[in-house]
Amino acid sequence: MTVPAAMRATGPRWRASRRTNVALAGLLAVAFGTGWLGYGVGAAPWSQLVAVVHALAGLGLLVLAPWKALIVTRAWRRRSGTLAGAALALLVVTSVVAGVVHSAAGWAATGGLALQIHVGAAVIAVLFVLIHIGRHPQRPRRVDVSRRNAVRLLGVASGAALGYAATHGIASVLALPGGRGRATGSTEVGTGDPRAMPVTQWFVDTVPRVDPHEWRLDVRWPGGSRSLSYGDLVSLA
């Protein structure tokens, strides 16, 4: 069997780099998959579990960031680094940071911008992930399933869990909206103000515009009906 030149030159470093890359690929897959699943399940009873797994996967990427930074630094020193790899790292960090900001500050604080950046950066990153995997394929190996790697994985999970607890703890102490938000991201708690309700909107959707002079709300019930204008609703507030 021919041993790759990088492995002959670096030995344990090559193996450490490979473990980090495999772990990052797995976390990216989990984060992206649970992100899409979260949009699908909505407010289902197990949506909280999906949200927590999504958050832990994203924070796990930050835990592995120092090791990945060493790999990238070595690659650029050997002049084997690529702009596509740098773009992927920037997109992943941007997505995770925006997700943390949205989770802590809530939808209303940023007008939904943090969530849009979080999702948009993740979607764009998919292209660069495919390019990166094509240039640096990592095949699963039998040695990946070992007690030592399980301990390493537990360490990453513990770091992500501490980050998750710290984020929500700080949000609660500072009375930020994220400290009382639901798994769906909604922070409305029945204030009676319709303007405080968050808007559920995909990042490519346009903002609907309503003419308050022509808009009507038709209410029907057994034995009767009523048509209310925008002004009628405002007078009831």
Tokens of 177: 């909206």
Q: What is the pLDDT of residue 192?
A: 66
Is residue 55 pLDDT above 70, yes or no?
yes
Considering the chain, what percentage of its residues have pLDDT values greater than 70? 74
Q: What is the pLDDT of residue 7?
A: 39
Please state the domain extents for the chain. Answer: 5-180, 201-236
Select the highest-mean-pLDDT range: 4-18, 81-95, 151-165, 170-184.
Answer: 151-165
Is residue 188 pLDDT above 70, yes or no?
no
Instruction: Of 8-12, 159-163, 177-181, 194-198, give the lowest mean pLDDT range.
Output: 8-12
Residue 8 CA from chain centroid, whole number: 37
Is residue 40 pLDDT above 60, yes or no?
yes
* pLDDT class of 124 with cuts at 50, 70, 90: very high
Average pLDDT of the residues in 85-112: 82
Average pLDDT of the residues in 90-117: 83
Average pLDDT of the residues in 131-143: 75
Q: How far apart are the first and last CA of the chain?
A: 76
Count how many residues are written for the chain. Answer: 237
Report how far residue 113's alpha carbon sits from residue 99's, in angstroms, rounded to the nearest whole number.
10
Q: What is the pLDDT of residue 133?
A: 79
Instruction: Of 69-78, 146-155, 157-166, 175-184, give the lowest mean pLDDT range.
Output: 175-184
Is residue 189 pLDDT above 70, yes or no?
no
pTM: 0.66
Q: What is the pLDDT of residue 80?
A: 63
Q: What is the pLDDT of residue 235?
A: 84
User: Nearest-CA neighbor of 226 among 236, 214, 235, 216?
Assistant: 216
Q: What is the pLDDT of residue 1?
A: 37
Burial of 41 (0-12, 13-18, 19+ CB in 10 A): middle
Tens digits of residue pLDDT in 205-219: 676 778 888 889 999
Average pLDDT of the residues in 8-16: 50
